[in-house]
Amino acid sequence: MDKIYLILSVITLLPVISKAGMVRQPVKDESWDFLLLAQFWPGASCIYFDEYTECPVPQGQVGWIIHGLWPSVFSGQQPRMCDPSMTFDITEIQPLRTELDKQWPYLNKSGDSTFLWKHEWDEHGTCAYTLPILQGELSYFNVTLQLHSTLDIFSALSTANIVPTTDNLYSLTDIWTAVVNKYTKLPQIACLHSKHKYYLDQIYLCYNKSLNLIDCPETHHHIYWNSMTKAKKLKLSLHFESEKSEPVNSQTVDPRDYFIKCPRDEVYYIPIPDRKTEIDTKV
């Protein structure tokens, strides 16, 4: 798939978005190169919050959920908190509340469900404002929901026989390759280390300012460190063809250049808890 075309919901056409017209006074450099859509695996998020058997996963949730949409740069650190004067107002995104609760939940049972949304707006939404389609809370959250709705990481992994289980570990390279095969773009993978075990935690996909999927950069460009920088390189030759039958892309890459806080080889991809599930997260 070479491009993703969005049909934005009618919500983005509302005539009045109060914060879209406000006078901005950015206090930091807010220039950026691309957007990174971060998605959580709920099972790992519940491990992170140390509440696996009581994790408030939305009823019927089976897929990946949103972490955030982050303006990013190809070198250096992401811009953050670009304009503190653009304070978060939950009423601005009330028309999206049902979808936010399903696709963008906050899985810490002790926290307010709006905590994550406020954090993402303060940290990243205020920097995304420089792109007209992302101006204002309603637009920023709506576009993020729409981008997420075009993806199905769960299906991409399942097609490669990578399914949540407590019994097996999966190769990170196989996980990464499954996403590449589905979307013909290079993703990043982040892992969670908890109680001496590594879990598949997040998958990042990248977009240009026209909201088309692009290859993510290697993680040494990322704000987080890459545990694989000193590991022996494992080169893969990737060959894939877009749905538009354009010339076949061929490139040789090391998947581990796209891993963040990950082990050398395998991780757990654990099931989403159903309140009846218990797993051993100890050694």
Give the catalytic positions in this structure: 67, 120, 124
Alpha carbons 186 and 25: distance in angstroms, whole number: 35
Other beta carbons within 10 angstroms of residue 24's beta carbon come to 14
Structure tokens at 210: 């026209």
Other beta carbons within 10 angstroms of residue 207's beta carbon come to 20
Residue 69, C-beta contacts closer than 8 angstroms, at least 6 positions apart: 35, 36, 37, 38, 120, 124, 125, 128, 140, 143, 144, 147
Residue 177: exposure state from Cβ atoms within 10 A (0-12, 13-18, ≥19) = middle
Residue 60, C-beta contacts closer than 8 angstroms, at least 6 positions apart: none
Radius of gyration, alpha carbons of the chain: 19
**Helix-strand-coil split of the chain, %, nearest 5:** 30, 20, 50
Q: Alpha carbon of 242 to those of 45, 84, 117: distances in Å?
A: 33, 41, 34
Helix H or strand E encompassing 206: strand 197-207
Helix H or strand E encompassing 101: helix 97-103
